Each structure stands twice: as C-alpha cells, then as structure tokens.
Amino acid sequence: MDNGLTGDEPDLGPDESDSEPDSPDRGLEEPDEPDREPADPSAPPPPPPPGLRMSLEAVLLVADEPVPTGSLADITGHPEAAVAAALCDLAGEYTAQQRGFDLREVAGGWRLYTRDECAAVVERFVTDGQEIRLTQAALETLAVVAYRQPVSRARVSAVRGVNCDGVMRTLVLRGLVEEAGSDPETGAILFQTTGYFLERLGLARLADLPDLTPFLPDHLDEELDFGHDAVR
C-alpha cells in the first residue's frame, strides 16, 4: 500500500540526542609536572624531634616565671599526666645528682631555681658584677621599671619594643630590680626597683626621681609620665 513515502528515508542530519556535548576540558592538555630532584642518598637523615624531658628542660631554662603543667603539655604536645610525671622525675634527679639548681612547683607552675646551698657563691657573683657599668639597653630598661613600677617583663618589653628578659635578669642579679608580687589578672611576675637602686642614685624615695619626659621619644612620654605620677 502506497503511504506517500518513498523507499528512501530523507536525510535528517545527525541525531543531536546521540552526540556528546563538548567537554570544556576537551583539547586542553594537562601541564607536565616539574621534574623533581631525586633525594640524595648520602644526605644525613633529619634529626628526630626532641623527647619530652629534653623539651621540658629547654622551655624551663628560658622561662621567667612558673609555667603551669597544662601549658607545658600544650607546648610539648604530650598528655598532661605524662608531663606531670616527667617534671617530678626531673626534680628528683636534680636533687639526687646534687645539681646547682632545682626544679620547683610554685605559684601553680614549674620553674628552675638555684639551690639554697649555692647562695654564697651566687651572692659573690652578684656583688662582683655590681661594679660593672650597665649597658645602654640595661639603663633604658631600668628607667622603664623605675618610672612604671610595679611592672611585668612583658610590659617593659612592650614599652622598649624589644625583648628585655635577659636585661631584666641582669638587673635582678645586680640588685637594682626585685620581684614585687604578681599581676592579679595575668599572674605575671611584677618587678620594682630596690633600696640599693635609690642608694646608688642618692635618692631618698622614688618621688625624687627626675622628670625624664623631655629627653624621651614621644611614644614613651605617656607611659613613663603615668608611672612617675603613680610612685609619687
């Protein structure tokens, strides 16, 4: 039966439903990875990380105030129980070995101290060093303590713009600066000048300190003015 269609079907073109859409990545070549230099077999292996006891000793050696057990655990990455046990072991070893220092738990933390038996030796060291002239950094640090006391090491460092831990230890050893309690908010140890400081300057009291603001940089004026008014 003739249905009006010829034997040849008309060319309708490619079936779009069967064609795959062009991929946005088609035709793009992946960049070559850069050549990596082979590891040198003769190079020494990297040193292993320090152990718990070594890490604790390193931190406590530079600590200027007692460090809580929890803080030491966070710093070393060890459980607090393991840190507490290691601290007790170290303290016992230092005592058994009759070291010139010991490890004490005070004020909620741990810190290294010289032993009481070495007090005379340390005193002679301090006395002999008092006649040595102070460096410029020590004089600047001493001025900040004198006019801003009682003040923490961190505050002194902030005023001077540099770390003052070593200089503060020198001033303490020279008998010019001493501990004056702790900050009620942060727990940081506070420092003040000593009677020996006033004696060396020929002053009767802190209120007799001269006004230094005309000779100081602008950023120190407000800091030291505030402290000078506080000691009057």
- Structure tokens belonging to residue 204: 């009767």
Domains 52-116 and 130-230 share a fold: yes
Give domain limits for the chain. Answer: 52-116, 130-230
Query: Is the previous residue joined to 150 through a cis bond, with omega within 30 degrees of 0?
Result: yes
Question: What topology does CATH give the domain 52-116?
Answer: Arc Repressor Mutant, subunit A (1.10.10)
- Structure tokens belonging to residue 97: 């070995």
Q: What is the pLDDT of residue 70?
A: 94
What length is written for the chain?
232
- Structure tokens belonging to residue 52: 């718990």
Q: What is the pLDDT of residue 25?
A: 52
- Dihedral pair phi/psi, residue 196, rounded to 5°: -65, -35
Q: What is the pLDDT of residue 47?
A: 81
Q: What is the pLDDT of residue 123?
A: 80
CB 114 within 8 A of CB 144: no
Of 37, 40, 65, whose CA–CA distance to 154 is shortest?
65
Q: What is the pLDDT of residue 15?
A: 53
Q: Does domain 130-230 bear CATH number 1.10.10.10?
A: yes
Q: Are strands 151-152 and 109-114 parallel, antiparallel or unpaired?
A: unpaired
State which residues of the chain have pLDDT below 50.
Answer: 1, 4-5, 17, 226-232
Q: What is the pLDDT of residue 190?
A: 94
Which residues, 6+ apart, have CB-to-CB distance to 107 below 8 Å?
65, 66, 182, 187
Of 158, 61, 41, whose CA–CA distance to 111 is shortest?
61
